[in-house]
Amino acid sequence: MNNLVIYIHINKNAGTFLKSYIAHGVNQSWKVIQTEEEIDEFNSSLNKGQLRAIGGHLKPSFISLLDIKQPHTYVVSLREPVDRTQSVHYFNQGAYQYMKVQPEPYQKGICWKAGEFAEMGLEKCIDILLTPEGWLEWNDPGITHANRQCQWLDPQPGSIPTQGTLERVIHFIETSVSYICLDTEMRDMGHTMSDRFGWTRCPECLRIHRPNQNDLRNNLPPISQELKLKIEQLNYLDMKLYSYAIKNAARINSRPITWITPTNKGI
């Protein structure tokens, strides 16, 4: 039975790049799990103990539904909140252009509304973007993009995020996470993550994703200082979480790996 690495993919946090890198690193001994059906499939699988990694849009509270038998640990990726908010906006814009060509099944969903709002421009729609109406996923309308990273990693979701949310997330990272991927280290984090867990490096993954995923900050249009400040204030918990990660990632990524036993999931 293999030890298991669980990657928690928060939207617009370099997840596409990291999932492809992990899949290569573990020689495809990996499974994407994002729906209730995929949870059921994983739980009933006789070969799940042979997997070396799983990942997807999983929250810690969601992961508790998985019947994990082997020692496991977590990988998370965090992104500077202003960059992330801009990225969500331009993603919504691009998705909306696609949806107008292929309107079904989107036309009556939250994602369609998000695209319509995005057409207004970032400055005009920022208050909408950071409310439930601005979220592009139709299967998770209760979570907004304001303090999204704290909300996603909270082991006790379901309430308006507060300082207590941030404290729970930091506790989860300190006790259960063995690698933090940061947007500031996009060029290197795939390699260092692989080295951390004894996986195979994937230089090809970097070449494939470099045009879109590296230098994200340099590719985003400039915004006014006033708008930047507004986004920071609306994401004040994520700003604190990101600051914590910047200060502590090197320590967490170099300490002994936290393998959690199935009887103590660390959440």
Full domain range(s) for residue 46: 4-80+151-221+237-254
CATH of the domain at 74: 3.40.50.300
- 4: β partners: 72
Rounded mean pLDDT of 105-127? 67
Question: Is position 185 within any domain?
Answer: yes
**CA 25/CA 19 separation, integer angstroms:** 10
E strand or H helix that includes residue 190? helix 186-197
**CA 136/CA 63 separation, integer angstroms:** 22
CA atoms within 13 A on the CB side of 108: 1
Closest CA to 111 of 125, 91, 126: 91
Lowest mean pLDDT among 2-6, 130-134, 154-158, 215-219: 215-219
The model's pTM is 0.86
Question: Is position 130 within any domain?
Answer: no
Whole-number pLDDT of residue 125: 74
Closest CA to 11 of 116, 137, 180, 106: 137
Cβ partners under 8 Å of residue 93, min gap 6: 115, 118, 119
**CA 240/CA 238 separation, integer angstroms:** 5
Number of compact structural domains in the chain: 1
Tokens 């990942």 found at: 55
Question: Is position 52 within any domain?
Answer: yes
- The backbone torsions φ and ψ at residue 149, rounded to the nearest 5 degrees and listed phi first, read -70, -40
Rounded mean pLDDT of 43-70? 88
Question: Is position 64 within any domain?
Answer: yes
The yes-or-no verdict on residue 40 having pLDDT over 60 is yes
